[in-house]
Structure 1
Amino acid sequence: MSYLLIGNISALICDDCIEPLAQARIRVYLPDTRYPAANPKGIFSDLQPLSAKEVLMKADRLLAEASLDEQGNFTLSWKQEHLFTEPLELDLCLDTLPGKTGIQQPRNFHLCTAVLHWKRSINGYIGAYAYVVPSAIWNTIQGEAGAWVITGTVKQRRETGNDQPPLRVEAFNALSGKKIGTAITNEYGRYTLRFSRKDLYHGTLQPIRQGRRHMGPDVYFRIYNNDKLVLSENESHASSPERQDLPPCSCVNLVYRPSVVKWASGQIQGWINDMKVIAGKSRKKREQLHLSNALF
């Protein structure tokens, strides 16, 4: 007989975007009987940071450990040595943040201490556990690591009825003029762009400005369909309040005009300019002709 625990752990970047904590590690411990846990929130308690010393001190109580896959799923199993009515401690270790941005160091958190719900099977007991890190907590974790993630959707201003192709989204820091990240939209037009504090400036000290809480970038974007530019912003777009001092977890939705319309309007304008030049030359030639006739 054994225990099998399956589940998923993810984090909220914003209200409409969730990301799996791929390659994170989950650990299950027997609780320390010297300190009975009294947590009214049970499995819904928030993450609590753990020091390296605290992790080391509970090593002898470890039952099982597993890594999360790319979707944030995990499977843990251990032999039946204790009653299923006993509470268990669940901890999370982030060796790196998604995208491997920010300061690279293990970060340990206590998930919960609770009696999980088990179902009897032929080979033992099966349980499930899922947790989504709230966006406010995830924002703090990203910020302490010096990491940023920007997500959002890219949509056409006028729907053409055709499937939107993958687009390349480039973000720039208006404070330095430096490109800080690139992402490709998925089939739903969503992009996720990551960068670290070191990506914000060209090896210079970050300018300190009063009221900048997050020490984040002021961003503007450019969007490409293959190599064709379909949206070109500049520093002025980064001056709007929602684009300034971006927090570590941010959502920026973008709208662009279909490239065929942009291309056609540009070409028509070029034809108009050419016609003006030709017309101007014709008038000049006519004036020269009239002057020649007058002299003779």
Structure 2
Amino acid sequence: MKNIFKGSLRGFICEDCLESISDVEILLYHPYRKETVAANANLKETFRFVSKEEVKQREQLLITRKKTDENGNFEIELDERFVVGDYDIDFVCGTVPFKFPKPKRDEIIQFHLTSISMQSELEKQEKDQNYRWRYTIAHKWWCYIRGHFFDAWTICGHLMNCETNTPIANAEVIAMDADLLTDDTLGTATTDSHGHFRIDYSSADFKKTFLSPWFNIETDPSFLSFKSGPDVYFKAELGGTKLVKETKVNARKNVGYCLCVTLCSEVKVTDPGVSFPSAWAGIGSQFTASYGLGPNAFDAEGFAGLGKHVLHKTIRMTGQAALRSPLGNPIEYRFRVSEVTALNNTPPLDKDNFNIIVGKTDNSLFVPSTVSKLSRKVPVFYLDDIFVDSAQSDFDPEGWFDVNHAIERTLIANGLTLADLDLYNVIEEDTLISINTAELTNAPNVPDLFSAGQPIPAANDILIEKFAIRFEIREVIDKAANSFGIIGGDGKTLNSIVMNNNPIYRKLAIKELEESTLCSPIKGTINAKYTLYHPYLASGSLHLNNNSYTINRYISDGVIDSALLKRIKDNSPLNAPPNNNLTRCTYTLKLASSTRKHNGDVDDSDGSPALEQLFFYDENQP
């Protein structure tokens, strides 16, 4: 009967990142020291580096050596003489996964693992044919061996959803090193079904400079200290959707040979059949759909954020909505609008006030937008990523939106069937519905009747317009039988949102040109005339420069720089002392302005470009 000792050698990189140590030599020795290791000894405490001197001293004690296979396994056939007794087990590390170059040092890298009772191990194998003696090198030692001797650096991590803690598969993760000069890419990896990824790199990947490969060094952005490890931050995306967007500000400073991370993404990536909490969370990317003191919340009066913005143009209702309930029933949602409003710090308005429904065919409030994305679980380089855009046909007569219908319609449009949905993960695109606010507001614009410097009568003031918005969501149990279930988040309401779609009223002129002709040279004191008005005016400025920019200044006249919503003057001197230094040249006077209008994603561009008035100044003209 053959006596075969079966073993396996592995190493920890992280607690949940374990690798087989392949293609290394396992050495079996007679005991080097007379004392034996207790059966219950901590294997971590027996592990140690074996010096050259010790290797030489133990030459006569060596029984045999075997190489590990790709799984770190080995088998040693033993003569009957070696069945009874305690033996030392070492290993010689000539390489590490994944085949990094051998050390440049002209030395054998040998480590003592532990001592074992061979008879006890063989008895265990005889009782269980699947039993194998296993040794796992602690992460502290294994990372040191990999990095110190082989310049092998490793990142092991997971990519999860922040809220549900579910793994995100098939995403590309990019590890970056933050440098003073240029950030280096350490490597990329694709997450598996458990959201796990691994990136292997060497110091050459983070010591690059503009002189590489002739001169490499790690350039630490802090400038105050030099450390050998990289400063690591991450980016991740799936099907073109950004899941993780860290910058060098988020960098983990001077990491060691092994880095273990868990990244989380706010973006919802789920299997089509998975349910999760649904909610209306915000308007665009900048504002939360709630009242509060936070920098992105609405105040009691309905102004958004710290800048007291008002909403205009197309706004995105953002949040998340599952395709199906926990019971597997479809989910529908809708938005309703009320012209009756209340303070946001008071109880939600009664639902009967909300008689305007987004998506009903009798209004144009609905704007198509991307509400979801389908990303193939196993890419085939054809229809791997499909964008799902909302359409009017996805609403029922009462304005209930069915994202399942939108997905089915999109699959069919791409030559697929509903059954193919199982091949995809669903990526929530944050947008629930987009609303055209211009269909709600109706305050008339200031009529184009007033010249620069002419007052605007109070009768032409633009009045404030407020609206309330309510989010409703339901589980469809049996639509034909009018049977619906209640979903959390139903009834979420903002009592007041200020909206405005009126343009800035602005006029600009040079008084002396109006008194002559627009082409005549002018001299003496030059006066600007302007009218600037909007109920939510944020800024206004007058700027003067000549062609050579030797004159280049803002004009301050006590009106244009004030907080007034109507900024009107018919006699604003441009070259009054001490600025009476105009010389013979062509000049440009600009009236710039902006409002507090915002669509939830970007600031208002109203007032751009600035109004301009050219004039030629010549003090020596007749």
How does the TM-score come out when normalised to structure 1?
0.74
For residues 106-137 of structure 1, the C-alpha deviation after alignment (integer angstroms, 9 at most, x for no partner) is 52101123323132999xxx984221111222
For residues 26-71 of structure 1, the C-alpha deviation after alignment (integer angstroms, 9 at most, x for no partner) is 1212235xx4244457572432112355445544443332222333
Residues 1:97 and 2:96 are matched in the alignment: yes
For residues 61-99 of structure 1, the C-alpha deviation after alignment (integer angstroms, 9 at most, x for no partner) is 43332222333222221322x153322121112211222
Shift of 1:159: 5.0
For residue 218 of structure 2, the aligned residue among 206, 213, 226 is 206
* Aligned positions of 1:240-255 closer than 5 A: 243-255=252-264
2:250 is matched with 237
For structure 1, list consecutive stretches of 5 or more residues without a partner in the other structure: 277-282, 291-296
User: Following the alignment from structure 1 to structure 2, what is the Cα–Cα distance between the partners of residues 169 and 112?
Assistant: 38
Give me the CA root mean square deviation.
Answer: 3.9
Residues 1:183 and 2:189 are matched in the alignment: yes
For residue 152 of structure 1, the aligned residue among 157, 174, 199 is 157
Identity %: 22
Shift of 1:151: 1.0
1:84 is matched with 83
Structure with the bigger percentage of helix: 1
Q: SS where residue 111 of structure 1 aligns?
A: strand
Q: 1:168 to 1:66 in 2, by over 3 A?
A: farther
1:36 is matched with 34
Preserved CA contact (<8 Å) 1:101 1:195: no
User: Following the alignment from structure 1 to structure 2, what is the Cα–Cα distance between the partners of residues 135 and 72?
Assistant: 16
Q: 1:121 to 1:129 in 2, by over 3 A?
A: closer
2:230 is matched with 217
Preserved CA contact (<8 Å) 1:24 1:94: yes
Preserved CA contact (<8 Å) 2:124 2:131: no
Q: SS where residue 188 of structure 1 aligns?
A: coil
- Give the number of the structure with larger relative contact order, counting CA–CA contacts within 8 Å between residues 6 or more apart: 1
Residues 1:174 and 2:172 are matched in the alignment: no
Shift of 1:287: 5.5
Moved more, 250-259 or 186-195: 250-259
2:117 is matched with 115
Preserved CA contact (<8 Å) 2:218 2:230: no
Preserved CA contact (<8 Å) 2:21 2:72: yes
1:294 is matched with none
Q: SS where residue 256 of structure 2 aligns?
A: coil
Preserved CA contact (<8 Å) 1:102 1:197: no
Q: 1:266 to 1:287 in 2, by over 3 A?
A: farther
For structure 2, list consecutive stretches of 5 or more residues without a partner in the other structure: 270-371, 374-426, 439-444, 452-622
Shift of 1:264: 3.7
Preserved CA contact (<8 Å) 2:170 2:190: yes
Preserved CA contact (<8 Å) 1:153 1:190: yes
User: Following the alignment from structure 1 to structure 2, what is the Cα–Cα distance between the partners of residues 83 and 53?
Assistant: 26
1:142 is matched with 146
Give the paired residue count: 269
2:135 is matched with 131
Preserved CA contact (<8 Å) 1:43 1:111: no
Shift of 1:201: 2.1
Shift of 1:199: 1.2
Shift of 1:268: 8.3
Q: 1:131 to 1:225 in 2, by over 3 A?
A: same
User: Following the alignment from structure 2 to structure 1, what is the Cα–Cα distance between the partners of residues 165 and 144?
Assistant: 40
User: Following the alignment from structure 1 to structure 2, what is the Cα–Cα distance between the partners of residues 107 and 136?
Assistant: 17
Q: SS where residue 99 of structure 1 aligns?
A: coil
Q: SS where residue 85 of structure 2 aligns?
A: coil
Q: SS where residue 66 of structure 1 aligns?
A: strand
For residues 136-161 of structure 1, the C-alpha deviation after alignment (integer angstroms, 9 at most, x for no partner) is 22232233133221111101235599
Preserved CA contact (<8 Å) 1:212 1:245: no
Q: SS where residue 217 of structure 1 aligns?
A: coil
Letter in 2 for 1:254: L
Preserved CA contact (<8 Å) 2:6 2:73: yes
1:72 is matched with 72
1:280 is matched with none
Q: 1:113 to 1:159 in 2, by over 3 A?
A: closer
Preserved CA contact (<8 Å) 2:168 2:191: no
